[in-house]
Structure formats: structure tokens, C-alpha cells
Structure 1
Amino acid sequence: MSDIKVKICGLSTEDTMAAALDAGADMVGLMFFPKSPRHVTLSQACKLADMARGKADIVAVTVNMDLDGLSRIKELVNPDIIQFHGEEAPESLAAAKVMHGTKVMKAMSISEKADLEAAQYYAIVADWLLFDAKPPKGSELPGGNGVSYDWTILKDLDLKKPFMLSGGLDPENVAEAIRVSGVTAVDVSSGVEREKGVKDSDLIRAFLAAAKGVKVPG
């Protein structure tokens, strides 16, 4: 049996970063997207990344960012993984990977099984794939909207690359989501917030306890 990997995304304060690390988060996400209520400046990100370095993988979450922006993040924050959460093509991931020598994760918005077909192309270059729910109509945020989808469509998906489930997860439903989807990794952002963009340390701890409490074959 193996443990579930957990990514706590959109962390923006030292208190909540400490809570995530102390409770055993495997990955911590820092959001570089000004439209998001979870956006962090480069100086904030540097402090938070220093707390996490060596304890969890630091994930820099970007949305359709240009190469200059990615270079600044790499140079100053030095994340372990760059997450692409926009409409980036597989070629963009490949270019960033070569340029920055870092692992890359591609987030994809899905609502039905047919949406998984494009994942085959990203799986060629991405080190990780993340399947998030499609944002509600009119939302300016590609993720962190707290909406869900049919988790069973991920059952028995074999991409030869690790992937994680995201979208609508919280401490109450994460164990069930893991069981019905068969995934071995999950990601949460809005599901551990007391209000939009404001993480709650108790919810972070509860989410990690619930997710880590599920054992999967392997």
C-alpha cells in the first residue's frame, strides 16, 4: 500500500504554509496570476519557498505566462515544478523544460471522458498532469473555483505519467473522491479556505489527514 500525494495550492501566508508543511503536504503551490485572489508577489513567493524548500516540492502556478516571466520566477523563486494552467501548447512546456531545467506540470480543464484525449499529447512532455474542473461561465480564473466533475472518468486512466485530481475537493469528500477515481494524488485550493483566497490552517490539516488516511494499492 502507498500513500496519497497531496498538493495544497494557492498558499499566500507563512502561517498556512507552515500548517501545510507540518501536516505533511507533498507539494505546495504558489500562484503567479494577478487576477487570482491567491496571487503572490515574487518577494512573498521567495519567503514562502524558503520555508518549503527541502520539505515539499514547490510548484509555481502560471497562466499563459511569457518566457521572461517564467525566467524571473525560476531565477528568484527556484521552484521544483512549473505548473501551466492556461492554454499553453505542449511545445511551450517543452521549451520551458529545456530552458529552465525544471519539471513541468500541465493542468487541464475537464468535464467528460472525451476531454482526456488531449492529455496524451501533454503526457509526452509533462512530468505531471492535473485534471481540474472546467471553470464556470464568466469566471476569470482557470482553477480554484470550487467546482467539481465526475471523478469516475479518471478510473483506470493510464498515461504513463503521474496525474492528480483537482476541482471541488474538501476535507469532507476527498477520501471518497480518491476511492471512486482510483487516483494516487490530489490537489486542493478553495476547499481549504474560510473565504475566497484566504486559507484556513485547520481545514488544511483536516484535508491532509483525510487524504493521507486513504491507502491505495501499490
Structure 2
Amino acid sequence: MPTTAKICGLSTPTTLDAAVAGGASHVGLNFFAPSPRHVDFEQAAGLAARTPPHVARVGVFVDPTDELIDHAVAAGRLDAVQLHDTAPDRAAAIRARTRLEVWAAIPIRTRADLDGARRYAQAADRLLYDAKTPPGSALPGGMGVRFDWALLDGFRHPLPWALSGGLDPANVADAIRRTGAALVDVSSGVESGPGVKERDRIAAFLVAVEGA
């Protein structure tokens, strides 16, 4: 199966169009207010309206309230919910309540961090392996930090999974070959600055994924 890609943290029609044109399988809309990639409900609705049915819309949240999820799901016409810093029981409750696909982000720095993945086996539909950000960071991801891909060697994944954390057009093909990831996720790696996506970088990333 060819590897597919999610372009995350999109906030403008131009960059969303670039992701779709380049063949992204998923687009990510960020509903975490402190993030430079945050979109409000009006922006989300406009972006969702431009997204064709074959491209899945994923909402990105950090331990969200039900109210936030309800508004975001409606505005963004979400197909999936990506949860950061959200306990397994809360993830399971969100999954049951929304009946949407739930992705659980697993922050990784050491092999021991992978143990957290097993806690979501009955609570989520997909795992997102991301780099653990430095202590005191304002954001749980999207900071261009990479983890050692060798940590995934021999790990028995309890769920389908995606690879994130520090990916960019220059290293994503190597990441795919090294880990066997079926889905890769990029945000800061296709930006010229925090939250500023670039069409050419999105295109280059998707070409690299296709050629891996």
C-alpha cells in the first residue's frame, strides 16, 4: 500500500488547495487556541467547504471540552478527531459521543514512552506517534521536533498508526523507508514560519511521499 499524507494546521484556502492538489489524504484543522495554526469556526467552515469528499478532515484538539468539539465538528464537517494530552477514558468518551474516528497522539522521546500507546487500544482508532516537546513548551506538537525512528523497531502497534514529528520534504522519504509508516503527518515542516504554510513546500512534501 502506498503511504498517504496529512497536511496539518492548514488555515488558508490557498494552502488547503495545495494540499488537495498534491494528493493529501487528510487535512488537519487546529482548534487549540494558543497554536499559531488555530482556526476559528468560521474559518473552519470555509476550509471544509473547499475540501473534496475523498479527503478526510481531521480536527486537532488538546484535551477539549464537549462544547468545543461539538462546534468544531459541525463547522469543520470533521471526519476524525485528533487528541493531544487527552486521557484514554476521555478519548473513549469522545469517540462514543461523536461516533467519529479518534486519533490519539503519543509523545515519544524514549522507548518507554511507547508503552502509552497500549493504553489507547480500546479508546482510539489510530495512534499518532509524535515527538515529545521540551518541558514547559506551550504546544504539544508542531514544533519541528523529531524523535529517533529506531525506537519503533520491533514494536507491536496496538492500532493503525501515523508518523509525525519533525518531518519535512527532505527527510520524509527516509522516514517512510525506515519505519514503514502507512500515513505521515506534517505541519511545521511545510512552513516558512510558525503557522505560515507554503504551497511549494506542501507540494514538495507530497511529491517526496509519493516517491518513497
In 1, Cα distance between the equivalents of 2:100 and 2:107? 23
User: CA separation in 1, counterparts of 2:191 and 2:202?
Assistant: 8
Q: Provide, for residues 67-89 of structure 1, a one-character-per-residue CA deviation record: whole Å limited to 9, x for no partner.
A: 11111112332200011012x11
- How far did residue 91 of structure 1 move? 1.1
Distance 1:129 1:5, change over 3 A: same
Deviation (angstroms), 1:160: 4.2
Cα offset, 1:153, TM superposition: 1.4
Structure 2 gap segments, 5+ residues each: none
Name the counterpart of 2:186: 188
CA RMSD of aligned residues (A): 1.2
Unpaired segments ≥5 residues, structure 1: none
For the 8 Å contact 2:47–2:76, the answer to whether it is kept is no
Displaced runs of 4 or more, over 3 A? none
Partner in structure 1 of residue 64 of structure 2: 65
Aligned pairs for 1:67-216 within 5 A: 67-86=66-85, 88-214=86-212
The answer to which of 37-46 and 136-145 deviates more is 136-145
Q: Alignment partner of 2:5: what SS? A: strand
TM-score (norm 2): 0.96
Aligned counterparts of 2:38 and 2:51: Cα–Cα separation in 1:
17
CA distance in 1, matches of 2:93, 2:178: 35
% identity of equivalent residues: 46
Paired residues, what number? 212
1:71-117 Cα distance to aligned partner (Å, 9 max, x none)? 1112332200011012x111111111111111100111101111001
1:123 CA drift (Å): 2.2
**Shift, 1:155, TM fit:** 2.7
Does the 8 A contact of 1:153 with 1:181 survive in 2?
A: no
Aligned equivalent of 2:29: 30
| Conserved? CA contact 1:155–1:182, under 8 Å | no
For residues 37-85 of structure 1, the C-alpha deviation after alignment (integer angstroms, 9 at most, x for no partner) is: 0000001001111111403110000001111111111233220001101
Contact 1:154 1:182 in 2 (8 A): no
State how far apart, in whole Å, the 2-side matches of 1:155 and 1:49 are.
37
Which whole-Å CA distance do the structure 2 matches of 1:24 and 1:157 have between them?
A: 29
2:93 is paired with a residue whose SS is helix
Q: 2:47 — aligned with what?
A: 48
